[in-house]
């Protein structure tokens, strides 16, 4: 069973999420919170596999709540937002969120994302995630992180990181580089370990911030 905590300050949204999750045999709803402070408290109490986190909330917003939950290492966080180009979502990704979805995401996609995050994967929707990074890192601006951050990587690992930043799956990366999927999985694991990253979302953000992945390029 995948345990989930719903966090949203709008009761109607919580009801909608509750109905969608309640129809799944492999998902258990362990609690609901209406603000970030309550989310942190309940996450530490129930230790759900995934916290479905709203961003703009009273008392404590979703960015700060995400940071506290991730740092406490009690749950993974999947952010929900109304607007794909949201500065708060970018901050949440920097603070360790395992991805984000729009609130109008079809139920099947929401369930797939929850299962992916619970299994240790990250939700990196290529179009919306890259638009978000394009906007907040900015085309033509100086990198936010020194490129030397990537110095531990081999040339092949840098190639894999570029493809990760484009939203490619391990299977797609394997096909692109003519490698086995197992080899790609090994490369991804080494990239995360060498750079001290939690998941693929953090890898994407770092690739953009160091300039390895450039906004506006496919």
Instruction: Convert the pLDDT of each residue in 43-76 to its tens digit.
Output: 999 999 999 999 889 899 999 999 999 999 999 9
Q: How far is CA 58 from CA 22, 30, 55, 175, in A?
A: 26, 22, 10, 46
Alpha-carbon gap, residue 50 to 52, rounded angstroms: 6
* Residue 218, pLDDT score: 47
Closest CA to 76 of 106, 96, 55: 96
Average confidence score pLDDT of the chain: 86
Q: Which of 18-22, 121-125, 145-149 has the weakest average pLDDT?
A: 121-125
CA 73 from chain center: how many Å?
A: 15
Residue entry with tokens 């999947």? 78
> pLDDT-derived band of residue 93, with 50, 70 and 90 as boundaries?
confident
- What's the farthest any 2 CA atoms get from each other in the chain? 50
In this prediction, residues 113-119 reach a mean pLDDT of 87
Alpha-carbon gap, residue 182 to 36, rounded angstroms: 39
Alpha-carbon gap, residue 171 to 181, rounded angstroms: 6
In the chain the domains, ranked by start, together with CATH numbers, are 2-123 (3.40.50.2300), 142-209 (1.10.10.10)
Work out whether strand 2-7 and strand 50-54 pair parallel, antiparallel, or are unpaired.
parallel
Question: Which two three-digit tokens encode residue 65?
Answer: 């709540």
In this prediction, residues 196-208 reach a mean pLDDT of 84
- More confidently predicted of 85 and 5: 5
What whole-number percentage of the chain has pLDDT above 70?
Answer: 87
> pLDDT-derived band of residue 102, with 50, 70 and 90 as boundaries?
confident
pLDDT per position as a tens digit, 131-186: 676 666 655 555 567 788 899 999 999 999 999 888 788 888 999 999 999 999 99
Closest CA to 211 of 161, 154, 160: 161
Residue entry with tokens 């939950």? 69
Is the alpha carbon torsion for 92, 85, 216, 160 positive or negative? Answer: positive
Determine contact, residues 47/23, Cβ cutoff 8 Å.
no
* Residue 130, pLDDT score: 65
Helix 181-195 with 155-165: angle, nearest 10 deg = 90
Has residue 105 got a pLDDT over 50?
yes
Determine contact, residues 93/131, Cβ cutoff 8 Å.
no
């Amino acid at each position: 069973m995948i345990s989930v905590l719903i966090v949203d300050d709008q009761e109607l949204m919580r009801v909608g999420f509750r109905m969608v999750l309640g129809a799944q045999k492999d998902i258990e709803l362990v609690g609901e919170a209406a603000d970030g402070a309550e989310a942190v408290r309940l996450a530490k109490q129930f230790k759900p596999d995934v916290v479905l986190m709203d961003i703009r909330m009273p008392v404590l917003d979703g960015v700060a709540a995400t940071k506290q939950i991730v740092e406490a290492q009690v749950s993974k966080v999947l952010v929900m937002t109304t607007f794909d180009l949201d500065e708060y979502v970018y901050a949440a990704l920097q603070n360790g969120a395992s991805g984000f979805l729009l609130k109008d995401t079809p139920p099947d996609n929401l369930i797939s994302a929850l299962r992916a995050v619970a299994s240790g994967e990250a939700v990196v929707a290529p179009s919306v995630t890259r638009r978000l990074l394009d906007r907040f890192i900015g085309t033509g601006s100086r990198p936010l992180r020194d490129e030397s951050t990537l110095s531990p990587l081999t040339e092949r690992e840098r190639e894999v990181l570029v493809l990760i930043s484009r939203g490619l799956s391990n299977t797609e990366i394997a096909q692109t580089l003519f490698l086995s999927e197992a080899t790609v999985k090994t490369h991804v694991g080494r990239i995360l370990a060498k750079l001290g990253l939690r998941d693929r979302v953090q890898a994407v953000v770092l690739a953009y911030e160091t300039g390895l992945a450039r906004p506006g390029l496919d």
